[in-house]
Amino acid sequence: MRTLLLVPALLFATTGLAQRPKAVARPAAGPDVSMGLGRDALIAAALADISPARIRATDSTLVAFGTRHTMSDTVSATRGIGAARRFLYGELRAYSRDCGGCLRVEYDPYDVQITRFRDRPTARVVNVLAWLPGRDTTRVVVISGHYDSCICSTDQADATSDAPGADDDGSGTSAVVELARVMSKRFPKGLDATIVFAVVAAEEQGLLGATGFARRLHDEKKTVVAAFTDDIIGNVVADDGRVDSTSMRTYAVDSVPSRSGELARYVWGVGAVYNPAFEVRPTFRLDRIGRGGDHSPFHRLGDAALRFTERLEDTKRQHLGTDDLSGVNFAYVANVAKLNLATVASLASAPAPVDSVQARRDRASGGQKWNVTWKPTPGAARYEVLFRATSSATWTRVYDAGTATSYLLDEQLDDGWAAVRAVSDNGHRSLTTVASTSAPPRAAPAAATPAPPPER
């Protein structure tokens, strides 16, 4: 079997070292985190369409509505959250007209109680969704930003003062709108899985819009392949003057059986393949400490979920009247949007993740090898088995398993992890599924034994 070795090529100079003063050999770049993911020419071409000027125009319009507080005016055409959502709906409808009706645009309302406020008011929380149906309408990839804003650093319930929310989260909302424009133009027939461009509401009162939509997808028996949120993706200057416009962070929990950690590795790899100059910095944690985001409701329902966010935040500008357009770098937001597009398009082009992956110690090799088995996946042309040491943050070796649904892995899983992914005939890779190494349940246990905790 062909083996792709992805271990970083460290440059160990072997000639003349003894004669030279002590020198430290350094890799030319960081470790290879691409996991063998391929580059699709159509996706790469679409990235060039992402326009910082259009993202700025969308965000500027959102800011001009004064406030987008959840309890703000819903009737005015010029001020408040109602005007904002009608604007967003109109933009998405216009993109759909331009692609021959390829997007299904809808309001997605929920009547909820805002328990964070002392008088516990009820509110109609309205998301705006644009669906790009794929060949498979049961599998969905969700990319969201929240269009509500607040000045909740001063008064959570103040629904009338200006709350520009240019970065939080006009930036993410405008990126999602731009993705809908570019992807509907480039892929009007859709991809394999369905994509939902979602601008959601009432994030600031407890992720209420995203929670409603996550529950709805599960009630409708959709399979959520991945749920992303773009939230606070435009600031590049920290309060102390440090600047970082070339890297961004992802937040996702890494614990089996959740695939959120696998999603983080996937995004990391996609970034390295499509735009290596813009560094992805994964953090294996649900969110920043004490903070939350719209990927969380999906993660809690068991979906692979991840937050995109800027590298350097300035909390002196968040949830305040100072969160204005001067603090948003739109070239930076465009780079985040490009990473979004490459990730969403890659995942939506790929087969479903592989199911029922098991690894058993191979007796014939004296326990040095492992037998990995899995169920066939619809749409898979072949499979790949991946390995990483427990000390490695991402997959470092990829083995081609061909069309088989088993593979004798010459790696020691006492020291690492194995996973399997499906590859389509045009080279798109599914999310990885980590092999379970636990013994199968016995038919009739003598006594109830509590299950061991997940291993990581």
| Separation of CA 63 from chain center | 25
To the nearest whole angstrom, how small is the minimum distance from the Cβ of residue 254 to Zn ion?
A: 23
Which residues contact residue 337 at a Cβ distance below 8 angstroms, ignoring those fewer than 6 apart? 50, 55, 175, 178, 179, 230
For Zn ion, the binding residue among 169, 254, 262, 313 (CB under 5 A) is 169
Nearest to 430 by CA among 392, 397, 383, 395: 383
Of 165 and 353, nearer to Zn ion (C-beta) is 165
To the nearest whole angstrom, how small is the minimum distance from the Cβ of residue 287 to Zn ion?
A: 11
Q: What is the DSSP letter of 17?
A: G
Q: What is the DSSP letter of 205?
A: T
To the nearest whole angstrom, how small is the minimum distance from the Cβ of residue 202 to Zn ion?
A: 11
Of 170 and 353, nearer to Zn ion (C-beta) is 170
Per DSSP bridges, beta strands 370-373 and 382-389 are unpaired
Of 59 and 136, nearer to Zn ion (C-beta) is 59
* Interface region with Zn ion, contact rule CB under 5 A, candidates 42-50, 87-95, 223-231, 255-263: 223-231
Sign for the CA dihedral angle at 196, 428, 97, 181 comes to positive
| Cα separation, 345 vs 54, whole angstroms | 20
To the nearest whole angstrom, how small is the minimum distance from the Cβ of residue 250 to Zn ion?
A: 15
* 213 in Cβ contact with 129 (< 8 Å): yes
Give φ, ψ of 438 to 5 degrees.
-80, 150
Told to check if 168 binds Zn ion by CB under 5 A, we report: yes
To the nearest whole angstrom, how small is the minimum distance from the Cβ of residue 116 to Zn ion?
A: 15
Q: Number of C-alpha atoms within 13 angstroms, CB side, residue 346?
A: 29
Told to check if 313 binds Zn ion by CB under 5 A, we report: no
Told to check if 294 binds Zn ion by CB under 5 A, we report: no
* 125 in Cβ contact with 212 (< 8 Å): yes
Told to check if 287 binds Zn ion by CB under 5 A, we report: no
Of 171 and 358, nearer to Zn ion (C-beta) is 171
Told to check if 231 binds Zn ion by CB under 5 A, we report: yes
Of 206 and 379, nearer to Zn ion (C-beta) is 206
The residues pairing with 127 across neighbouring beta strands, listed in sequence order, are 108
Of 125 and 435, nearer to Zn ion (C-beta) is 125
- Residues near Zn ion (CB under 5 A) are 168-169, 231
